[in-house]
Each structure stands twice: as structure tokens, then as C-alpha cells.
Structure 1
Amino acid sequence: MKTLEGDFTASNARIAVVATRFNDYIVNALVGGAEDVLRRHGVADEALTLIRAPGAWEMPLVVDRAAASGQYDGIVALGCVIRGGTPHFDYVAGECAKGLGQVMQQRSLPVAFGVLTTDTIEQAIERAGTKAGNKGAEAAMSLLEMISLLRQL
């Protein structure tokens, strides 16, 4: 049986990292993790573009515009939404996830989901490079694998 699966050799890929400014003390750590992974896997500096969106609510539109530009082989979406005492979290996190999924499907372009949705700031810190690893780095790895896989299809 023929098996197709991606690897991490998308060194000639053009990649946008779309990161939110909201909760930037967490998001900047995610960006650093993604950037490190992409560079270690051979993605050149000139092939990387960092785009800042105000927050997770606005991120799907920014990602859609980047995808529509035809300039990128994939997009890493990085942000952080921390639950508060109101239902605001549910709306923002849910619409962000739904919107990013729609962009990926409609534009047929891989969008790696690196948006933290946590209950506490401590959980966010853990996922931005301490106990639970760096979810920005993990999203970048996923993107490289998807770019490689889609090139085979």
C-alpha cells in the first residue's frame, strides 16, 4: 500500500506567522518558539513574515487576507485567550477557532492553530515554553508537516 505522509523538509516554504498583540507577553514566547522551529528546519529569514493582529477575534480576517494574497505556502496562527469571569472568552475563542478553520478549508492552505485557550494565566505560561512545552513551536512543526504532505497530494 502506498502511504503519503509529511515530513519537516519544507525549507523552501514561504510562511506567515500571524500573532496577536493581546496578551503579547505570552504570545511573544509562542512566536519565539515557532520562529526557532522554522529556522532550525531550514526556512530562510526572507521567507518568514510576522503579521500582528490586534487580538484573537480579528485574527481570522487577517489570516484570510494573508492566505488570499498567494504569497504564502502556510500560516501559523498564534494567540492567547484567557478565561475571565464572563462568557466573553467563549465567544472570542470559539469564533477564532471556527474562523481559522474556515480559512484553511476555503483557501486550501494549511493554517496551524497555535492559539492558547486557557482558564488561567498560569496555564498559558506553562504552554508558552515551560512545563507543557511551547505550543508555538508545536504549531510550526505541524505546519511544516502539512506543507510537505500537501505537496505530495
Structure 2
Amino acid sequence: MASADNRPTGGQLDAGDLVIGVISTRWNTEIVERLTLGAWRAIEQAGATRRDITVPGAFELPFAARAVIESGTVDAVVVIGAVIRGETTHYELVADGCARGIMDVQLTSGVPIGMGVLTVEDRAQALARSQPADGHNVGEDATHAAIEMAILTRQEASSPQGER
């Protein structure tokens, strides 16, 4: 059961034994830094360990996620980026490719990936979705989701077949 903010009831996630990879882009730096701080906050609050990686842009996130997952050093990954619509179709190509790639990596690897990539119309929307502490921050939300799914994955892996 979940609370109104979609976190599991009973409060905080306990992820003291998890390592979360945070893969951030270098594009749209101001927004990405705010989202990354949100991810770091969530990891710290859950007691997890983080591993930070930086890539050029959102299109590179799926490849980086796959590489980090294949290294065997993380229990979950959070991808952080911001794709802001411009005057060309580049926005659609990058946003669609990133989302599709992340989903493919997540499903083929069996390792959860929190989607902290904003796809917005303008800078104002990006700022609204990357608020500091106590505000709406998609990086923080994506990290909570990744941690929750990593916990679920571990529980299911250790659950006897008859209890499912």
C-alpha cells in the first residue's frame, strides 16, 4: 500500500545495503544539477550508497546505464537529464530514443532504472520540476522509484516459489 505521495506506507525506504548508480548528463547543466541533488537527497535519506557517472547528453544515458549495470556494481540506476523542446525535431528524436533505450536496458537487464529525464516545453517547466528540497523534484521521485523497485527485486529473488 502506498501513501498519498506514492511512497510505501510506513515511511522511509530502507536501502542501507543498496548501491544506486546516478547517471547525469552535462547538457542543461543548471536543471540537471538540481535534479541530481534531488537524487542524492533521496539516496542519503534511504541510507543507500551512490555511484556517480556523467555523460554528454540524454541520448547517451541508455548506453551508460547498460555499461554500469553490466559492471555488476549497482542494484539500481537513476538517469538524470533534461530535454527542452526547441525549434527542430531533435527534441522528439532525443526524448523518444532515450526513453525507449532506458526501458529496453531495464527490461533486458532486470535491474531497475529510475527515469529522471525531464522532457519539457521550456526552461520554466524544467525549473518547476527540479525544485530544491521540499519541492517537486523529478530526480528525487525517480530515485525513490528505483530504490523501491530494487527492494522489490531483492524480495522476489529471495521469496520461495510457493509464497508468490
Tell me, yes or no, whether TM beats 0.5. yes
- Say yes or no: does 1:41 pair with 2:41: no
Q: Does 1:18 align with 2:23?
A: yes
Q: Give the aligned CA root-mean-square deviation in angstroms.
A: 1.7
Counterpart CA distance in 2 for 1:63 and 1:136 is 16
Instruction: For residue 132 of structure 1, report the CA deviation from its aligned partner.
Output: 6.5
Number of corresponding residues: 146
Higher RCO, Cα 8 Å, sep 6+? 1
Cα deviation, residue 73, structure 1: 0.2
1:147 corresponds to:
150
Q: Can you give the 5+ residue segments of structure 1 that lack an aligned partner in the other structure?
A: none
> Which one of the candidate residues 83, 86, 89 is aligned to 2:88?
86
Q: Which residue of 2 aligns with 1:53?
A: 55
Flag structure 2 segments of 5+ consecutive residues without an equivalent.
2-6, 157-164
Aligned-residue identity in percent: 35
Q: Residues 106-151 of structure 1: CA distance to partner in whole angstroms, max 9, x if unpaired?
A: 1110000000000011000000116970000101111111011111
Separation in structure 2 between the aligned mates of residue 129 and residue 11 of structure 1, nearest angstrom: 26
Q: Which residue of 2 aligns with 1:32?
A: 37
The CA distance in 2 between the partners of 1:29 and 1:97, in whole Å, is 20
- For 1:124 and 1:21, the matched residues in 2 are separated by 15
Q: Partners in 1 of 2:42 and 2:115 — Cα distance?
A: 15
Q: What is the TM-score of this pair, normalised by structure 1? A: 0.91
Letter in 2 for 1:137: E
* TM-score normalised to structure 2 length: 0.85
Give the drift of 1:60: 0.8
Q: Could you list the runs of 4 or more consecutive aligned residues of structure 1 that deviate by over 6 angstroms after TM superposition?
A: none
